[in-house]
A and B are shown apart, each in its own frame.
Chain A
Amino acid sequence: MPAVRLLAAAGALAALLAAAMPAPAAASETWWQPAGLAGKTVTRVAPAPGGGVVAVLDDGSAWRTSDGARFTPSPPPPPAAGSTAAGVGWTIRGGTVYANSAPDPGAPALGSYAHLIAAVGATPGAVIAVSDSGVVWRRKPSGRWDPSLLLLPSTLVTGVPEVTSLAAFSAPHVSTVVYLGTRGYGTLLSSDGGDDWVRADSGLPADVFGLAADSGSDPPAVWAATSGGLYVHRLQPLPSVPSYADRALLVKWALTVLVCIAATGAAAFALRRWTA
């Protein structure tokens, strides 16, 4: 059928054009890199005193590392007790958010099983917390709380992925980013205190059981405990905006204009030749 042939030809042309597109710069390196314990289920990861992290496997053993290459046996870390930043310790007790010892006014009731909370050191007063129903809340430095993120079911017949972990850098001047780990959606991150979220699971297995932000390493890093081992993302400075000398820009624009004139001319020639 002519329509089928036309569609096949067009599909081939589209594939050729797509292949001709310059590959995105990020394709060569994923956001997350494997950091040891490959193939093992890492159920928890927590910052270690003095730098690095301690990773706990599903067999109960715990291993300390600071570079993801060398691992030494370690006592398991104590259970997470909230998040401290800018001199304020944030915890959840009985569904209530506490700032140091006092309930935070305006905080929502998160449910009696809620325990995930992260405070951003670079933005004093900015806090992310997760209710036991899975709603992600964010607190602005002004003290106002708002529901920030509601995860959706993966399909109509499956449930909503569980939020398993939060991580933020407690030290000031490191990063405003907060990472959120899920069982099914990998990780998401927010760099503006929970107003906007971005999928940040490139290179990571879908099931993330724990996250830890390590301010002490150089560069600072975020570690992820997953069903496929330990992963790490090392913070990098943002690339500087390229600046072109005026003369170089002028040449590039001149070339572009020439390309456009040539393309238009070729098309006009084809139209004149084959449509008359």
Chain B
Amino acid sequence: MRAAVAATPERRAALVTLVAGTLAVGVALIVPGFYSDPNGLDPYDLRLAGVALALVVLAHLWRRLERSRAVLLGLAAAVVSYSAWLWLPWVIWDLGGRISGPALTFWASLGEMVVTVVACVVAWRLRPELRPNLRLRRLGRRSVLVMIGGIAVVVIGGLMLPATWFGREGLQLVALAPGGSLDSVWLVPANLLQGAAQELQFRGLLMGALEKVMPSSAANVAQAVVFGLAHLAILYGGPVGPFVPLTVVAGWLFGEIARRCDSLWPAIVIHGIADVAITAVVIGGLYGL
């Protein structure tokens, strides 16, 4: 059931919150690059998590910012969980967990999902008028068909586009085998968890919060833009330019799927499968992805 379009002040509050929150995290990401090497200084993006957490805590403590809570929760879920994904492997290693790189990635992805679930629980405790619609209760026939169709599009579309566009040039059989650097036993579930977490963060929490106060189509565009900009953090300092518009489009597509199926599950599955496919067949370049 679509949320009713709310009055203008609530919509303005949501948009101001989204822009202010995104800009604050963006400033924390980019400004340190002018006087330091941020990847060396703060490889875990703790500064981003700090800003996002501070804003969401402020919104929960200060009644005046109640309208901003849901949107800030969505932003914080994405940022804090990503930071956790970065530092968890090193925490596990430092605590004596001498396991392989792919295994570390799996546990980090699980940690990312745990943080996301905590954010969902906090969102659930908001007043019903502010509570985001996560679209997790429905999984109808239409959703299943879209799921299957979406996976087919990912596979066939990926094969139709020239391999050199994305580095889809080969299968690294030794790396993908158990014990390899891309050990699929660990990385398949890790990628599935990452895809699911991102769908909950952006199409669940963030879009679900924005839809309460604006048309669903506009909410989808807004979350897609934030989704694209969020990938600046992942590819910071690398060949990031062409990647951002692609992730905006991908985020918008996942949002459309969630809206039209009224279910987040197709997007979760398609996103997870796409992440697994990228890990399996995209060979990294000299300077990263």
- Write the residues of chain A forming the contact surface with B, with a CB cutoff of 8 angstroms: 2-3, 6-7, 10-11, 13-14, 17-22, 24, 26, 31, 138, 146-156, 184-185, 188, 194-200, 202, 206, 242, 244, 249, 252-253, 255-257, 259-260, 262-264, 266-268, 270-272, 274-276
Q: Is the CB of A10 within 8 A of B286?
A: no
Contact between B55 and A197, CB atoms less than 8 A apart: no
Partner of B287, one of A26, A264, A266, A276: A26
Chain A residues contacting B59 (CB-CB under 8 Å) are 271
Contact status B172-A202, CB under 8 Å? no
Quick check: B163 and A271 within 8 Å, CB to CB?
Answer: no
- CB pair B225–A14 under 8 Å, yes or no, is yes
Q: Contact flags (1/0) for B274-289 with A, using CB distance below 8 Å?
A: 0000000101111100
Q: Which residues of A contact B221 (CB under 8 A)?
A: 3, 6-7, 10
Q: Are B285 and A202 in contact (CB under 8 A)?
A: yes
- Give B182's nearest chain A residue, CB to CB: A196
B55 and A275 within 8 A (CB): no
Once the chains bind, are A151 and B170 in contact (CB under 8 Å)? yes
The answer to whether A195 touches B174 (Cβ under 8 A) is yes
Once A2-B218, A275-B13 are accepted as A-B contacts, the answer to whether A18 and B232 lie under 8 Å apart by CB is: yes
- B117, CB-defined interface residue at 8 Å: no
A31, closest chain B residue (CB): B286
Q: A17-B229, A268-B58, A276-B64 are in contact. Are A196 and B181 (CB under 8 A)?
A: yes
Q: How far is the CB of A134 from chain B (nearest CB, A)?
A: 10
Name the segment of B18-26, B103-111, B135-143, B263-271 touching the other chain.
Answer: B18-26
Contact between chains at B244 and A18 (CB < 8 Å): yes
Instruction: State the interface size on chain B (CB cutoff 8 A).
Output: 77
Given contacts A22-B33, A199-B169, contact A272 B240 (CB under 8 A): no
Partner of A196, one of B25, B167, B175: B175
Quick one: closest A residue to B220, CB to CB?
A3
B50 within 8 A of A: yes
Question: Which B1-49 residues have C-beta < 8 A from chain A?
Answer: 12-13, 16-17, 20-21, 23-28, 30-33, 35-37, 40-42, 47
Q: B168: which A residues are within 8 A, CB to CB?
A: 152
Name 26 A/B residue pairs within 8 A (Cβ), A-sorted: A10-B221, A11-B245, A14-B225, A18-B244, A24-B237, A148-B174, A149-B171, A150-B170, A151-B169, A152-B163, A155-B163, A184-B164, A188-B283, A196-B175, A197-B175, A200-B286, A249-B41, A263-B25, A263-B28, A263-B51, A264-B51, A264-B58, A266-B23, A270-B16, A270-B20, A272-B64
* B binding-site residues for A, Cβ under 8 Å: 12-13, 16-17, 20-21, 23-28, 30-33, 35-37, 40-42, 47, 50-51, 54-55, 58-59, 64-65, 67-68, 156, 159-164, 167-175, 177, 180-182, 215, 217-218, 221-222, 225, 228-229, 232, 236-241, 244-245, 248, 281, 283-287
What A residues does B167 contact at CB under 8 A? Answer: 199
B residues less than 8 Å from A148 (CB atoms) = 172-174
Q: Name the residue among A200, A259, A271 with the largest chain B CB count within 10 angstroms.
A: A271
Among A10, A206, A252, the residue within 8 A (CB) of B225 is A10
